C-alpha cells in the first residue's frame, strides 16, 4: 500500500500450515496490503468447527472497502467482528456444537499509525531497531496467573491451563475487543501469528528471523523453524514491513 510522496508503504507476506500433528488446519489469515489490513484467526481447539469460525472471520473482511479515515475504519471493523460473533453463536446453536469460536488478531495501517485489535491469544509483534515487542496481551487463564505473580513467564507455555483462552469471537453474546495504536516508523516490521508459532519458536528466534530475512522470506522461515521444533498445533504467520514511499524492503 502506498500513497502520496513520502507516505508510508506497507508490504506483506503470509503462510499457514496444519503443523506436524493435527489433521485439520483451524487457522486462517487475511493479507490485504492494498488497503493496509491483516489478520490471523485461530479456531478454538477442542471445539467443533474451529476451521469454520476462523474462515468466517477472514471472509467477513474480504469485501471491506479501503479506509476513508481511521475512526470510521475502526468502527467498521468492530461492527464486522460483532456480526461474525453473532453468526457464530447462531451456527453453534443450529448445529448443536456448544461453542464455535476463534481468536482474532488484526492489524490495520492508516497514515503513520498501526492499529491492533484482538481477542484471545493470537498475537501481534513489532521489531524496531533490533528490539522485539509484543503489542497484544493474551486473553488467557495463564496470562492472568502470570499477571498475579502466580506463574513465571517462562513456565506459561507449558502450564496445564496454557491453552485456555478467556475471550474469543463467538464465545459470548457481547464481543470484547482490545484496541491499541502504535506510531509507525519506516523500517518497522510487524508479525501477526497464531499461538502455534509463538509456543514453538522463541522470541529470540522470532526477532532474528524478522530482522534478517526479507518480508517475503520471513513467514516461511518462521514456519520452517516451528516445524523443525515440533509444531504440534497449526502455525500461521503474517509479516508486514513498513518503508517510506521510496523505500525498498532490505534482503
Sheet holding 235-244, edge to edge: 8-17, 235-244, 189-193, 123-128, 131-134
Confidence (pLDDT) at 95: 85
Q: Which strand (E) or helix (H) includes residue 186?
A: none
pTM (2 d.p.): 0.91
Confidence (pLDDT) at 135: 97
Confidence (pLDDT) at 33: 96
Measured CA to CA, the distance from residue 177 to residue 72 in angstroms comes to 16
Q: Which strand (E) or helix (H) includes residue 148?
A: none
Average pLDDT, integer, range 71-92? 96
Measured CA to CA, the distance from residue 119 to residue 68 in angstroms comes to 25
User: Is 249 inside a domain boundary?
Assistant: no
Handedness of CA 26, 242, 132, 217 (dihedral sign): positive
251 CB neighbour count, 10 Å cutoff: 12
User: Is 250 inside a domain boundary?
Assistant: no
Parallel, antiparallel, or unpaired: how do β-strands 113-119 and 27-32 relate?
A: unpaired
SS3 state of residue 218: helix
Structural domain containing residue 209 = 8-244
Q: Which strand (E) or helix (H) includes residue 238?
A: strand 235-244
133-173 tens-digit pLDDT = 999 999 877 666 756 566 666 656 665 555 778 999 999 99
Parallel, antiparallel, or unpaired: how do β-strands 189-193 and 102-110 relate?
A: unpaired
What is the CATH classification number for the domain harbouring 20? 3.60.40.10
> Which own/partner contact pairs does 61-64 have at CB distance under 8 Å and 24+ positions apart?
61/30, 61/32, 61/37, 62/30, 64/35, 64/37
User: Is 1 inside a domain boundary?
Assistant: no
User: Is 116 inside a domain boundary?
Assistant: yes
User: Is 105 inside a domain boundary?
Assistant: yes
**Backbone φ/ψ region at 29: left (φ over 0), alpha (ψ -120 to 50), beta:** beta
C-alpha angle 204/148/166, rounded to 5°?
80
Tally of domains in the chain: 1
Q: Residue 5: pLDDT above 50?
A: no
Amino acid at each position: 500500500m502506498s500513497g502520496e510522496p513520502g507516505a508510508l508503504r506497507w508490504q506483506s507476506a503470509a503462510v499457514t500450515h496444519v503443523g506436524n500433528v493435527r489433521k485439520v488446519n483451524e487457522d486462517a489469515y487475511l493479507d490485504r496490503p492494498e488497503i493496509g489490513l491483516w489478520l490471523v484467526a485461530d479456531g478454538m481447539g477442542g471445539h467443533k468447527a474451529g476451521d469454520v469460525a476462523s474462515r468466517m472471520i477472514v471472509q467477513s473482511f474480504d469485501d471491506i472497502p479501503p479506509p476513508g479515515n481511521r475512526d470510521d475504519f475502526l468502527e467498521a471493523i468492530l461492527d464486522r467482528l460483532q456480526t461474525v460473533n453473532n453468526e457464530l453463536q447462531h451456527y453453534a446453536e443450529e448445529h448443536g456444537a456448544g461453542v464455535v469460536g476463534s481468536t482474532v488478531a488484526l492489524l490495520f495501517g492508516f497514515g503513520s499509525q498501526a492499529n491492533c485489535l484482538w481477542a484471545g491469544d493470537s498475537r501481534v509483534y513489532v521489531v524496531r531497531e533490533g528490539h522485539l515487542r509484543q503489542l497484544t496481551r493474551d486473553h488467557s487463564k495463564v496470562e492472568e496467573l502470570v499477571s498475579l505473580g502466580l506463574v513465571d513467564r517462562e513456565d506459561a507455555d507449558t502450564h496445564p491451563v496454557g491453552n485456555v483462552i478467556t475471550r474469543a469471537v463467538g464465545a459470548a453474546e457481547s464481543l470484547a475487543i482490545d484496541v491499541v495504536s502504535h506510531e509507525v516508523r519506516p523500517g518497522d516490521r510487524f508479525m501477526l501469528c497464531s499461538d502455534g508459532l509463538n509456543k514453538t519458536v522463541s522470541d529470540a528466534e522470532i526477532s532474528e528471523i524478522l530482522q534478517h530475512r526479507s518480508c517475503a522470506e520471513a513467514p516461511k522461515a518462521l514456519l520452517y523453524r516451528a516445524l523443525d521444533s515440533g509444531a504440534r498445533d497449526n502455525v500461521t504467520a503474517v509479516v508486514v514491513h513498513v518503508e517510506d514511499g521510496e523505500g525498498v524492503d532490505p534482503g
